[in-house]
Structure formats: C-alpha cells, structure tokens
Structure 1
C-alpha cells in the first residue's frame, strides 16, 4: 500500500488506515479486524482514550502485541472520564493531558505514542497551555508528533498559527465537502496533513448506499434534504463498475486532495475491512470523474461549528 508523509514529520502513513472506535468489545473479533487491515498494508491505527471509556485502547494494545515496530499508533486526549464508567467532561488543560498520556500508554502497552491528538476543542480553550503540554510530551519522548481532531475552522486556524501540529483529523467525504472551502488549502500551505474520517458518510457512499440513506438519511444530511440525498446517490450508484467499487470511489475522492495523508475508515467486521480494501484494486480516479463528483454534490461551508 502506498504511504504518504504526515505533515513535515518523518512519519509515513498508509493511504488507508483503521479507525478503531467501531471494533467492539470482543477481543477476538477486534484482533481479526486489525490483523486483516495490517496484513493488507495498513500501518496506522487510530483510537482515543474516550472510546469505550478506555477499553478500546486496551483491546487495541492486546491486538498489536508483537507488531509494534511495524505500526503507527494514534490516540487522543482532552476528555476526562472514569474508566468503564459513563460520562465525561472536557478538559484540555496541561495537567490533564500530561496525566492522560500515561494512562493511554499503559492501556496500549507501549512506550510512546506516534501521533497524540487533542480530541476536540473550542476557541475558548486555553490553547497556549494545551500546546505547551504537547510540546513537553514530545520533548520527553512520550509522543513523536501531535495534532488535533477538529472540524472547527477557527480552532484549526489558531493551532496552525501557534503550534507545530502535523495533522488535523476531520470528517471529510464526497457528501461533506466543507473542508474544501477554507481548510484544505490552509493546511496544504503549512505542510499539515489531513486525516480524513467518515469517508463513507455513514455508509451512504458505500455499496449499501440506498439502504443506508433510508436508515440514516430520513432527516437529511448536513445541507442535503432526504430527496436531495436520494438524487445524488442515484447518480453515485452509476459509478459502480468492474473498475471500482463505490467504497473505492469514496476513498479515491478524498485521497485525490493533496493535504490528505490517509483515509481513516471504521470497521466492525472483517467484511467491512475487505470492502474498503477494494480501493487497492481500483482503476485510478480520473480528473473527469473527480470533476463529475464535485458537480453533482454540494460545496458546503461550516456554519454552526466554528
């Protein structure tokens, strides 16, 4: 699998990576999903301390024993919680981040985190203090690089201006093209990579698109009404062919954008991993098809989330 540089760092991520939030709580199932992805060339696993209140990190840690040297591990912090208990509070303070990293390392069973990310954030946060925490963790060798997971343009712009982030994780897909309006060019100019999550738009861009729209699109999606979604997906379905699956097309669309380092897909079964891996056999995306996708979808902007 091709790899792309993470920002200006010496880390290279596989074009497809596994988001671990949907792995579930069965360690055997989780390991089978992770093993299939890794054996296909995926080298980046993305988790967070909040997923299943610490259990997801623990399950990932068990699954990767003996394979650490081959992997890039990313996790996130900023949500204060009690392990195995519901509920959390937002805490981007230096003290919490420097405490949370130790807990994550222990659960993952590793000595350092390759990519440590702030899991959210608002413009009212003590951003300078947060950056200081990440910089100190990097100096201490507990993390290699740091980034943020955010869809808020104003927050992203502050971190671009003030910090040494190498990445921004954000939702990005052919139905959610908001990053194209004011984020992608900014990050590209500053040599900061995008980790694109949600590439299938809740499954509405997958081979089960019509079924997923009926399940999850009844109230619309972003600025799309249900009727608009159906019209777009009717055209989307026409691209399914022997040259590429719809999953492959969805992944190709976001990976066509220069600052995108990797498409982070979630999977709760090996079958879903296989569907995403069809990307590896797909014919290259042409500029014509890329343009057609842009023409049939909406150029959206961030409104509520700033």
Structure 2
C-alpha cells in the first residue's frame, strides 16, 4: 500500500469511509460490511473513517467489532457533534466542551478502544467559539484519549483559528471531479499551514460511476432521495457527465470509479481520498486507482468531460448547505 502524510502523520494513500455501512444509502449487510473493512485492512488501508452519529452509534459499534484484534493496524477517524432525534434525524449541532467529552466517552466504548487517532467536529458550531471546541479536544489529547485533532467542512477563518489553538492534522471535506470548491481557498490554506486533506464524496454518492439511471428510485433512508444532484433535470445533466467519464474510461482501460479516484490522487500527496463503500467488490474496484497513472492528456480529457462547476445541483439540500464552510 502506498502511503501519504496528513499533517506529518503517515497513513495509507486511500482510506475507507464506513458511513454507508449504517443505512445512509439504504440497507447494508453487517457481515459484508465487516468483511469489507477486513479486506481493506488486508490491502493495507489504515485510515478508517466513521462518525458517532452514523446510524446513531451503529457505525462505531460495527467498526469496533471489525477491529477486534486488529486495533494497532488502524488509524481511526471519528466525527462528532450532530444532535439526533428518533429514528436518527439530524436536528442540530453541539460542540460545547462538555458535550465533546461526553461524545468521546461513548465513542471509546462503542469502538472498544482506549484512544481515537483523529477526532474532529463534523461541523463548526456557530454558537461555540472554535477555540473552545478545539481546547476540549486538546485536553483529550493531553490525557491520551485522542491522538490528533481534525476538522470537517470548516471555513478558512475557522481553520486558522483552530490551528492557532492546537495543530490541525487534517481537514475532511468533499472534493472530487464533481465538487471543486476547495480549490478556491481551502486547499491553498491547508498547504500554507501544513494540514492534510481527507477527501470524501469522490464518486459524488455514486453519481460519477454511471450506475444511476434517470428517474432512479432510492431505498427508504437513502440520502440521495433528497440530494439536489439526484433530482429531475439536475440528474439528467449529471448522467451525461457520468457518461462522458465512462467513455474516457474506455479509452484508458479504467473504470469510472478508478478514474475519479486517480484524479483526486493526482491533486497532491497531501490528499487522502476515502473509498466510501459497504461492499468488497466496490472496494477492489476503487483500489485499482492506486495502480493508475494519469497522463497530462488524460487529465485534460477529464477536465473537458467534467469541468469545474459543470455538475448540476448542490451537494446537500439548502438547510444542510448552510452549515458548511463556517
């Protein structure tokens, strides 16, 4: 497995995003999910990404089961802060220091571990100074419960303030051929400060694979049923982009997923993309990107096929978009 560095910390060149193993994109088979985690680790993947609110704790318990006897081989990243109501709807965010310490107490128990490698607020809480949230994580680092501080979907100002309080190892944000926003301000800042990027949504929730048909019906609980990129005319336009990507794949011998991951990998050695999957076959497909080398001509083809800003629709519904980049 190739490796990369996030803020000086060495991890595998790709990580495994475990969110989909807890019903976010429809039902998931637990045995297959655990087998997928094990297959990733056998392939050399060390970075496992989860959140304490994925499946209302289910995802952490699943990862904890998968890590039995293997904890020392994993770099576990946990997001925290989302407030839920039954059956699991996100209704708010709380990053007060007292809440942070409550979250980590439950996460350690569910993950069956004594420490978390990378701990990060899933969003910046507009009601709590980022210095207070980071200060609480710093106390957990000093006590040995957390190894490194991360951020997720934070804006330029918050990143600077957080990093001034305690060094930030990595920022998790959506970055892909379909989502180029970080290039405008976030990525240059991360490189200025020596912070790595963990990129999620590389396939734009499966949009770039070309597997989603016009008028597709999604299973109950599937995030995409409410995602603007998967609705009406937006979906029709985006499917045309996915078709163009598939054609390039035919010319390069790569699948659309491999092209999408190879593109993100080509953007810099300080970027670690997450393979978000609950199935071993999808994992194996994406891992094939590690053996791909995109030529300048290939990269130019991809830029023409899916230029910045070409994807129709925002990546989240309007209410969720308001919580990004604070």
- Equivalent residue number for residue 48 of structure 1: 51
1:230 CA drift (Å): 3.8
- Equivalent residue number for residue 11 of structure 2: 13
Q: Which moved more, 1:55-64 or 1:236-245?
A: 236-245
- Equivalent residue number for residue 245 of structure 1: 255
Give the Cα–Cα distance (whole angstroms) in 1 for the partners of residues 213 and 74 of structure 2: 32
1:211 equivalent in alignment to 2:212: yes
Give the Cα–Cα distance (whole angstroms) in 2 for the partners of residues 96 and 69 of structure 1: 27
Aligned with residue 276 of structure 1, among 257, 270, 286: 286
- Equivalent residue number for residue 31 of structure 1: 34
Q: Which moved more, 1:295-304 or 1:242-251?
A: 295-304
Q: Label 1:255 to 1:124 Cα distance change in 2 as closer, same or farther (>3 A).
A: farther
TM-score (norm 1): 0.87
1:295 CA drift (Å): 3.4
- Equivalent residue number for residue 138 of structure 1: 141
1:257 equivalent in alignment to 2:254: no
Give the Cα–Cα distance (whole angstroms) in 2 for the partners of residues 298 and 155 of structure 1: 29
1:41 CA drift (Å): 1.3
1:22 CA drift (Å): 1.1
- Equivalent residue number for residue 295 of structure 1: 304
Alpha-carbon contact 1:153-1:183 (below 8 Å) kept: yes
Q: Secondary structure at the match of 2:268?
A: coil
Aligned with residue 192 of structure 2, among 189, 192, 196: 189
Q: Label 1:259 to 1:78 Cα distance change in 2 as closer, same or farther (>3 A).
A: farther
1:178 equivalent in alignment to 2:181: yes
Question: Structure 1, residues 187-232: CA drift from partner, whole Å, max 9, x if none?
Answer: 11111011000111121222xx15356536995479x944542442
Alpha-carbon contact 1:53-1:82 (below 8 Å) kept: no
How large is the Cα RMSD of the aligned pairs? 2.9
Q: Label 1:230 to 1:267 Cα distance change in 2 as closer, same or farther (>3 A).
A: closer
| Structure 2 residue ranges without an equivalent (≥5) | 23-27, 217-223, 315-320
Alpha-carbon contact 2:95-2:125 (below 8 Å) kept: no
Q: Label 1:160 to 1:286 Cα distance change in 2 as closer, same or farther (>3 A).
A: farther
Q: Label 1:290 to 1:112 Cα distance change in 2 as closer, same or farther (>3 A).
A: same
Aligned with residue 95 of structure 2, among 68, 84, 92: 92
Q: Secondary structure at the match of 1:167?
A: strand
Give the Cα–Cα distance (whole angstroms) in 2 for the partners of residues 84 and 112 of structure 1: 28
Q: Which moved more, 1:239-248 or 1:11-20?
A: 239-248
Alpha-carbon contact 1:146-1:166 (below 8 Å) kept: yes
Alpha-carbon contact 2:49-2:78 (below 8 Å) kept: yes
TM-score (norm 2): 0.82
Q: Label 1:64 to 1:35 Cα distance change in 2 as closer, same or farther (>3 A).
A: same
Alpha-carbon contact 2:14-2:45 (below 8 Å) kept: yes
1:75 equivalent in alignment to 2:45: no
Aligned with residue 165 of structure 1, among 158, 163, 168: 168
1:21 CA drift (Å): 0.9
Alpha-carbon contact 1:199-1:263 (below 8 Å) kept: yes
Q: Which moved more, 1:13-22 or 1:232-241?
A: 232-241
Q: Label 1:197 to 1:220 Cα distance change in 2 as closer, same or farther (>3 A).
A: closer
